[in-house]
């Protein structure tokens, strides 16, 4: 008997969107079950129903064969079902210990036992943090582990992960997937929500594919011979071609020059240590590294979010008016104003331009509507209308909106941080194609990515960052995934210092 | 001579401090849970009014104090109903309640004692007396000043470490801070946000009501229109000044009342060459200056004053 069974689940959101349409799903003890589908397929919604965050419109949930109805996430937790959401459910200003203790009910108060359990679980998850440090200083990966720890302390039996690797990169993502396997071998039932086929195939015992709210099919790992089968199920159509690098002119003009840059993080630790590079006109310059090696601080100081300690950042654009375009990693915090409408967010960066605001600062909504429509069509942003506050869009659609806005601004320099994170296959393809197109039009692009394949696919040069330094800059011709990976991790003895 | 003057000022500043510290410590707890209750001004005024009325008609000061607390609870229940359960804007409701209560207490006062207030306004014969704490009050200097106060003062001093202990050492305190930082997350984790806020508001109502009673039945023996004179707002400013830390609230409110006591002394002495209104201004001016210097980089609870609505 499966641990969990969902039968004929339907979810219609208040706005009338049918997000889940007669879906069936089950989880066994000790398996990793991937839930695969494009953005908007209804994966998150279905799992939120399973974890008690949402009430299904109809359908039934069985735990250990008995029918249950969840009143709240905490209630579902009593049945051992926990979910790691795309947005953290941690309180940033509170310490790790306090965050872990928050969810506990009063019967498990015993502090000594709790500390012992925490130590054991930390070891299991390889989490090395000071329990007293506030959560906001932790890396994304560490935060995830704190959340997992909390669920384990609450005696969860089913752990649901919603696109967990979209915010961590390269080798870290690999480690994370290994950890899922380890959890499953301990007897936990694991659900991995993802839109990355490779990732699903790497760890899963079974895959369920969703499309347009329906569960299309559930397959065992060894029944899957060709990943294209899955792709077709996901898309409902045929395969996408590879993005092709077009031959393009080579310019020498640098658009962005970074010289001997030193940047400290909030704790006063030097995270960027004498970094120098330049991004030239018409090239895509990739920046890759394991999370926490200084990429974040580097980009923050280039974009002006963080003061540098020393060194120079020179923008060499000819048009004074065009500030660089920027696709931030933190969409909700930096990319959009969540409670403003789609339309206002579409011109958030440029509403002061003459084309959008008249002489007396009165916004020209017809013009703004036009550009919004263009972005929506260009990126296929799914939104019921343009006046909806952005926070009601799904994560992928918000990302598309930001990417569309920044791509269409027409500036000479684009700084793109994880531009395809959280996007489905088709949109990610679309974004990469357009990055190449912009480059061929002479735009210089600084691409920060955790996806080695993506970097190799589009970049002309790739810089690997480790411990706050750029340890190597590859030309596209000499780069291959293995060597880049080695530099990221300093795996070889010979590489350990410069 | 100087020592006597200073100890005199310190003594009266502790008197002035009592209602501020009581209201401040209660408001601090409420703000830690994410609510901004501006209506403590009204709650305090209602406490002062109720205490006086009960004391006037029954001559029972203990009963008067407790009734003031109950009246405070009723005020905070109204605030809870509107802001916690109906998710209305806390600032708007708070301000509205303050204006309403000034009018209401003045009206009820006149309805009871007649429209023309006689030259000698109604007053009570007995007020709350200071109590000496045995042994401790014998300590030279400090004993005289600190341990020779009305019970309300001791209550205020006691609440400071208690609230600190509650917030930082108990499970419920942890939950309280969590709902002040992020009620959505707290709710997700199964914490009953509204219920905790409701209880804390009841506590605040009682304490602030009692704080109001000190004005009308301890320091004065009568009720005056709008006799709180913005002490509720001062208490809120003191919470910010104390950076939402209970232990800092004590020095913060002492600083304010010390200046206030000093300026009263100066006024009474009549030696100053400038209008007395200037010295009236001093404590407030100083608060603003200290806020500018000390309050800049301070962050309060992240969800402070934001309405919370459960969605599912
Ligand atoms: N809170 C919401 N209100 C209305 N519609 C929603 C809400 N959340 C998601 N949707 C819609 O439901 C559909 C499924 O979304 P979701 O479950 O997030 O998909 P996935 O996780 O597979 O990307 C999408 O069309 C999305 O726009
Ligand atoms: Mg999703």
Are A101 and A182 within one domain?
yes
Q: What are the beta bridge partners of residue A160? A: A83, A191
Quote the CA–CA distance of A339 and A271 in Å, as a whole number. 33
Count the neighbouring beta carbons within 10 Å of the beta carbon of residue A363: 15
Q: How far is the CA of B186 from the centre of ligand 1 (A)?
A: 23
**What's residue B196's pLDDT?**
97
**CB spacing of A74 vs B181 below 8 angstroms:** no
Query: Do the domain assignments include residue B286?
Result: no
**What's residue B291's pLDDT?**
78
At residue A494 the predicted structure's pLDDT band, cuts being 50, 70 and 90, is very low
Query: Do the domain assignments include residue A115?
Result: yes
Are A261 and A204 within one domain?
no
Is A245's pLDDT higher than 70? no
Q: How far is the CA of A190 from the centre of ligand 2 (A)?
A: 16
Between residues A235 and B76, the one the model is more confident about? B76
Q: Which two tokens stand for residue B90?
A: 């806390």
Query: Do the domain assignments include residue B280?
Result: no
Closest ligand 1 atom to A44 CA: 21
The pairs formed by B164-172 with CB atoms below 8 angstroms and a separation of 24 or more are: B164/B245, B164/B246, B164/B247, B166/B29, B167/B29, B167/B32, B167/B246, B171/A101, B171/A106, B171/A109, B172/B196
Q: Which of A217, A235, A253 is the last residue of a domain?
A: A235
Show Cβ contacts of residue A250 under 8 Å, excluding neighbours closer than 6 positions.
A282, A283
Burial track A119-135 (b if 16+ CB lie within 10 A, e otherwise)? eebbebbebebeeeebb
Query: Do the domain assignments include residue A143?
Result: yes
Quote the CA–CA distance of A295 and A470 in Å, as a whole number. 10
The mean-pLDDT minimum among A96-100, A136-140, B30-34 falls in: A136-140
Q: Apex CA B251: angle with CA B245 and CA B255, to 5°?
A: 130
Are A307 and A207 within one domain?
no
Which segments of A31-83 does DSSP mark as H helices, in order?
43-50, 73-78
State mean pLDDT over A84-92: 91
**What's residue A369's pLDDT?**
93
Residue pLDDT tens, chain B, 312 long: 777 888 888 988 999 999 999 999 999 999 999 999 999 999 999 999 999 999 999 999 999 999 999 999 999 999 999 999 999 999 999 999 999 999 999 999 999 988 776 778 888 999 998 888 888 878 877 777 888 889 999 999 999 999 999 999 999 999 999 999 999 999 999 999 999 999 999 999 999 999 999 999 999 999 999 999 889 999 999 999 899 999 999 999 998 899 888 888 887 777 777 777 777 787 778 778 877 877 777 788 999 989 898 765
**CB A395 near ligand 1, within 6 Å:** no
Is residue B142 less than 8 Å (CB to CB) from chain A? Answer: no
Q: How far is the CA of A162 from the centre of ligand 2 (A)?
A: 7
The sign of the torsion formed by the CA atoms of B37, B40, B42, B46 equals: positive
The alpha carbon of A464 is separated from its chain's Cα centroid by a whole number of angstroms, namely 20
Are A175 and A207 within one domain?
yes
Number of A–B residue contacts, CB under 8 Å: 46
Query: Do the domain assignments include residue A390?
Result: no
Query: Do the domain assignments include residue B169?
Result: yes
> Which ligand neighbours the alpha carbon of A215 most closely?
1
Report the domain count for chain B.
1
Give the percent of chain A with pLDDT over 70: 93
CATH number of the domain encompassing residue A206: 3.40.50.300
Quote the CA–CA distance of B215 and B135 in Å, as a whole number. 28
**What's residue A248's pLDDT?**
67
The helix, strand and coil proportions of chain A, stated in percent and rounded to the nearest 5, come to 35, 25, 40
Are A122 and A256 within one domain?
no
> Which ligand neighbours the alpha carbon of A16 most closely?
1
Find the domain containing B154 and state its range: 18-115+149-236
Spell out where A51-155 has E strands.
58-63, 66-68, 81-84
Q: How far is the CA of A213 from the centre of ligand 2 (A)?
A: 12
**What's residue B114's pLDDT?**
82
Residues from chain B contacting residue A93 (CB–CB below 8 Å): 181, 299, 302
Are A225 and A289 within one domain?
no
**CB spacing of A103 vs B181 below 8 angstroms:** no
Quote the CA–CA distance of A287 and A459 in Å, as a whole number. 9
Are A165 and A278 within one domain?
no
Are A67 and A104 within one domain?
yes
**What's residue B34's pLDDT?**
96
Q: What's the complex ipTM?
A: 0.86
Report the domain count for chain A.
2
Task: Report the predicted TM-score, pTM, of the whole model to 2 decimal places.
Answer: 0.77
User: pLDDT (tens digit, 9 = 90+) per residue, A401-452?
Assistant: 999 999 888 888 999 998 987 777 778 888 888 889 888 888 899 999 877 8
Are A16 and A151 within one domain?
yes
Are A253 and A231 within one domain?
no
Query: Do the domain assignments include residue A446?
Result: yes
Between residues A245 and A327, the one the model is more confident about? A327
The helix or strand, by DSSP H or E, that contains position A201, with its residue range, turns out to be: helix A197-203
**What's residue A492's pLDDT?**
42
Find the domain containing A37 and state its range: 4-235
Quote the CA–CA distance of B282 and A262 in Å, as a whole number. 47
**CB A422 near ligand 1, within 6 Å:** no
Residues B184/B177, Cβ–Cβ less than 8 Å: no
Q: Which of A207, A235, A263 is the last residue of a domain?
A: A235
Is A319's pLDDT higher than 60? no
- Which one, of B76, B96, B67, B92, lies nearest residue B27 by Cα? B76
C-alpha dihedral (B269, B272, B278, B283), degrees to nearest 10 = -50
Query: Do the domain assignments include residue B99?
Result: yes
Query: Do the domain assignments include residue A403?
Result: no
> Which ligand neighbours the alpha carbon of A39 most closely?
1
Are A165 and A268 within one domain?
no
At residue A316 the predicted structure's pLDDT band, cuts being 50, 70 and 90, is confident
Q: Which two tokens stand for residue A440?
A: 């061929």
Are A252 and A213 within one domain?
no
**CB spacing of B177 vs A94 below 8 angstroms:** yes
Residues A140/A259, Cβ–Cβ less than 8 Å: no
Query: Do the domain assignments include residue A371?
Result: no
Residues B211/B190, Cβ–Cβ less than 8 Å: no
Residues from chain B contacting residue A77 (CB–CB below 8 Å): 190
The SS3 of residue A203 is helix
Among all residues of chain B, which has the CA nearest to that of A110?
A: B171
State mean pLDDT over A482-495: 67
Among all residues of chain A, which has the CA nearest to that of B302?
A: A93
Query: Do the domain assignments include residue A391?
Result: no
Residues from chain B contacting residue A105 (CB–CB below 8 Å): 190
Is residue B195 less than 8 Å (CB to CB) from chain A? Answer: no
* Rg over CA atoms, chain A: 23
Query: Do the domain assignments include residue A337?
Result: no
Query: Do the domain assignments include residue B266?
Result: no
State mean pLDDT over A13-39: 90
Q: In terms of C-beta density within 10 A (0-12 exposed, 13-18 middle, 19 or more buried), how is residue A45 classed?
A: buried
Q: Which of A235, A268, A296 is the last residue of a domain?
A: A235
**Residues making up chain A, counted from first to last:** 498
Closest ligand 1 atom to A17 CA: 5
Q: What are the beta bridge partners of residue A192? A: A34, A161
Query: Do the domain assignments include residue B136?
Result: no
Is A242's pLDDT higher than 80? no
**CB A39 near ligand 1, within 6 Å:** yes
Show Cβ contacts of residue B112 under 8 Å, excluding neighbours closer than 6 positions.
B53
Quote the CA–CA distance of A432 and A451 in Å, as a whole number. 12
Residues A265/A294, Cβ–Cβ less than 8 Å: no
Q: What are the beta bridge partners of residue A18? A: A12
- Which one, of A74, A163, A6, A87, lies nearest residue B310 by Cα? A74
Residues B163/B25, Cβ–Cβ less than 8 Å: yes
**What's residue A233's pLDDT?**
85
């Amino acid at each position: 008997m499966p641990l969990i069974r969902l039968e004929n689940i339907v979810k219609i959101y208040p706005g009338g969107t049918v997000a889940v349409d007669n879906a069936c799903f089950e989880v066994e003890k000790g398996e990793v079950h991937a839930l695969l589908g494009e953005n908007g397929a209804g994966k998150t919604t279905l799992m939120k129903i399973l974890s008690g965050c949402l009430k299904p419109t109809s359908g039934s949930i069985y735990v250990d064969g008995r029918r249950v109805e969840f009143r709240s996430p905490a209630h579902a937790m009593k049945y051992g079902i926990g979910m790691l959401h795309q947005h953290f459910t941690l309180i940033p200003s509170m310490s790790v210990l306090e965050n872990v203790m928050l969810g506990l009910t009063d019967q498990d108060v015993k502090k000594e036992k709790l500390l012992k359990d925490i130590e054991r679980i930390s070891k299991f998850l390889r989490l090395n943090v000071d329990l007293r440090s506030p959560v906001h200083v932790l890396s994304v990966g560490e935060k995830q582990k704190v959340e997992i720890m909390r669920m384990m302390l609450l005696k969860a039996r089913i752990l649901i992960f919603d696109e967990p690797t979209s915010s961590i990169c390269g080798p870290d993502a690999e480690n994370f997937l290994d950890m899922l396997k380890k959890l499953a071998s301990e007897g936990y039932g694991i659900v991995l929500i993802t839109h990355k086929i490779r990732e699903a195939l790497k760890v899963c015992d079974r895959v369920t594919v969703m499309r347009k709210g329906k569960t299309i099919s559930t397959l065992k790992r060894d029944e899957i011979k060709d990943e294209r089968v899955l792709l077709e199920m996901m898309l409902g159509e045929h395969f996408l071609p590879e993005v092709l690098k077009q031959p393009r002119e080579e310019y020498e003009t640098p658009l962005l020059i970074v010289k001997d840059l030193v940047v400290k993080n909030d704790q006063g630790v030097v995270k960027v240590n004498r970094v120098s590079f330049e991004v030239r006109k018409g090239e895509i310059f990739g920046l890759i590294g394991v999370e926490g090696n200084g990429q974040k601080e580097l980009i923050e100081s280039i974009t002006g979010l963080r003061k540098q300690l020393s060194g120079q950042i020179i923008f060499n654009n000819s048009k004074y008016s065009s500030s660089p375009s920027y696709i931030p990693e933190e969409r909700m915090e930096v990319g959009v104003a969540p409670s403003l409408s789609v339309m206002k967010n579409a011109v958030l960066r440029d509403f002061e331009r003459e084309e959008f605001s008249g002489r007396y600062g009165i916004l020209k909504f017809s013009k703004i509507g036009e550009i919004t429509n263009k972005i929506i069509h260009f990126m296929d942003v799914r939104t019921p209308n343009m006046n909806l506050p952005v926070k009601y869009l799904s994560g992928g659609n918000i990302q598309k909106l930001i990417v569309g806005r920044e791509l269409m601004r027409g500036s000479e320099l684009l700084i793109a941080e994880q531009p395809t994170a959280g996007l489905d296959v088709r949109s990610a393809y679309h974004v990469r194609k357009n990055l190449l197109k912009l480059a061929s039009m002479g735009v210089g692009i600084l691409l920060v990515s955790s996806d080695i394949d993506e970097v190799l696919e589009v970049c002309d040069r790739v810089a690997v960052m480790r411990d706050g330094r750029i340890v190597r800059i590859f030309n596209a011709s000499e780069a291959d995934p293995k060597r880049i990976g080695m530099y990221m991790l300093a795996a070889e003895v010979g590489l350990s210092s410069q | 001579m100087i020592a006597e003057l200073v100890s005199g000022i310190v003594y009266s500043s502790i008197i002035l401090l009592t209602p501020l510290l009581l209201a401040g410590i209660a408001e601090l707890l409420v703000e830690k849970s994410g609510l901004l209750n501006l209506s403590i001004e009204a709650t305090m005024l209602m406490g002062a009014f109720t205490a006086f009325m009960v004391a006037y008609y029954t001559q029972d000061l203990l009963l008067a104090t407790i009734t003031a607390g109950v009246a405070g609870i009723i005020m905070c229940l109204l605030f809870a109903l509107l802001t916690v359960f109906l998710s209305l804007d806390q600032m708007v409701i708070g301000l509205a309640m303050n204006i309403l209560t000034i009018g209401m207490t003045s009206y009820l006062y006149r309805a009871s004692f007649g429209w023309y207030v006689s030259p000698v306004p109604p007053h009570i014969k007995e007020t709350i007396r200071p109590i000496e704490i045995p042994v401790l009050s014998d300590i030279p200097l400090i004993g005289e000043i600190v341990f020779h106060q009305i019970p309300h003062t001791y209550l205020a001093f006691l609440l400071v470490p208690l609230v600190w202990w509650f917030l930082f050492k108990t499970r419920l305190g942890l939950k309280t801070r969590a709902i002040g930082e992020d009620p959505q997350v707290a709710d997700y984790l199964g914490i009953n946000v509204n219920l905790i806020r409701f209880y804390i508001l009841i506590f605040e109502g009682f304490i602030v009501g009692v704080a109001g009673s000190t004005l009308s039945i301890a320091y004065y023996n009568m009720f005056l229109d709008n006799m709180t004179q913005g002490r509720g707002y001062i208490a809120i400013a003191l919470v910010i000044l104390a950076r939402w830390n209970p232990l800092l609230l004590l020095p913060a409110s002492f600083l304010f009342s010390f200046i206030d006591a000093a300026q009263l002394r100066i006024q009474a002495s009549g030696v100053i060459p400038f209008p007395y209104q200037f010295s009236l201004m001093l404590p407030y001016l100083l608060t603003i200056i200290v806020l500018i210097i000390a309050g800049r980089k301070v962050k309060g609870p992240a969800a402070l004053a934001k309405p919370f609505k459960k969605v599912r």
